[in-house]
Amino acid sequence: MTPSRGTIGIKRGYIIPIGGAEKKRRDPVILEKFHKLSGGKNAIIIVIPTATKVEENGQRYVEIFTDMGAKTVHCLNITNRKDCNREDYLSRLKEATGIFITGGNQLRLSTILGGTPVAKLIRRLNADGVHVAGTSAGAAIMPEHMISGGRAGSTPTPRSVSMSPGLGLTNSVVVDQHFRQRDRLGRILAAIAYSPFLTGIGIDENTSIFINPENVFEVVGHGGVTVVDPSEVQFSNMSESVRNEPISITGVKLHILTDGDSYDLNKHIPHISTPEDEV
């Protein structure tokens, strides 16, 4: 699945995976940046809380973005695949300048949204300039390849990770969330061993990346982002390993980036922010 082509002459919208547990009221730098990017006082933000069964979760984000000054904020309470055909929901999505997907269970997201008119419209809107952010499960589902489960630990095994189809807003990365807090290095390494054309992005809590139309991302937030670069992988024995056996993989590059740092996903080049950059 490749990202939607979009309209010629219109830049893609940002793709904004958030590692979960982002600050919502005190120092909400990530949500504020998304709100501002989406138009600030002219923003029309759509909240999609499908990943969770907690009804109040979507309304909480509606209140947050409303308090920030967004022009309009709607919550689409999509709880089953039939809801994805509702004309009122599709009409509201078409007006959006920003779309926010909440956390919860990413398999719930993929099984309810996958292949529906809502999912297809989100892809087209992002290709035509609408910014899409997602936290936790909402972050995991953004790429074509989604990490749907796995095991904690630093050593990759064939069973460290399970993969499922995602939204396909990008096909160059695989994203894992709550990264350092839940010890997920092994499973993102396993994901890279399965698909060594993907760049692995592990995002800590209260941390995000803002991927711009040129496929360069900036880190925003208070934690770290682990980039697993497979562009020079020389060897992997994933195809020979079984079950819980540790796998061998060589040539992997690993970068740890923090707030203000950036990374070019096309060239695989990191840039570390310095005080001179802020002048």
Q: For 158-242, where are the alpha helices, taking DSSP H only?
A: 185-194
Distance in angstroms (rounded) separating the CA atoms of residues 161 and 203: 16
User: What secondary structure, in 3-state letters, does 12-47 show?
Assistant: CCCEEEECCCCCCCCCCHHHHHHHHHCCHHHCEEEE
136: annotated active-site residue: yes
Q: Quick one: CA dihedral 104, 135, 180, 2, positive or negative?
A: positive
Residue of 216, 252, 261 lying closest to 234 (CA atoms): 252
Q: Which of 4, 22, 178, 236 is catalytic?
A: 178
Q: Catalytic annotation on 195?
A: no
Q: Which of 22, 144, 205, 218 is catalytic?
A: 205
Active-site residue flag, 35: no
Rounded (10°) angle between helices 29-37 and 56-68: 70
Contact yes or no for 175/145 (Cβ under 8 A): no
Residue (of 61, 69, 7, 60) closest to 38 by Cα position: 69
Pairing of strands 15-18, 131-135: parallel
Identified catalytic residue from 38, 110, 136, 262 = 136
Catalytic residues: 136, 178, 205
